[in-house]
Structure 1
Amino acid sequence: MVLSHKNEKHSGVERQLKTKLIPRIQDWINNCDDSPFNYKVKDVVFRFAETGSLGLKRYLFLLKSPNKKNSIYLSI
């Protein structure tokens, strides 16, 4: 499963940037007590900012639960 680029607030992320972002978020998930425990990063897109966030780079990550019985997806 991947995130859709059809939403006008989402845009694709270059492959080189994805290979840098995904391991950083996965490391946060694995090592931080405040993270969504035990999820795996599946995809990332650039999220266009609202007027209050101008100048900030924002990304949306798709996470998947390893629970095979009821696969649950989460976006952060």
Structure 2
Amino acid sequence: MVLSEEYVTLKVGDSKTIKAQLKPDWTEIRATFKWEPKDQGLVTLSPVDDSSISIKAIKPGATIIQVKDQGSGKTKEVKIRVTE
């Protein structure tokens, strides 16, 4: 699994879209990802499509969003820092 970004810094109120992709590209498996923030109060997550999520910064701090491929069970993390 590859993420479009693994380290993100946002200001409160800003948003960023992150995409996950199963590798290799030629695989015919359609991946479904589960996105879960460790600290629910710092960011909100809104699905964009099956492989992308929009992250909106709510309040300052740092958290990690765990991304899990539902088919293989593999996980990756996106580290998020929110500033004022």
User: What is the TM-score when the length of structure 2 is the normalising length?
Assistant: 0.29
User: What is the TM-score when the length of structure 1 is the normalising length?
Assistant: 0.30
Name whichever structure is richer in helix by fraction. Answer: 1
> Quick one: higher RCO (CA 8 Å, sep 6+), 1 or 2?
2
Name whichever structure is richer in strand by fraction. Answer: 2
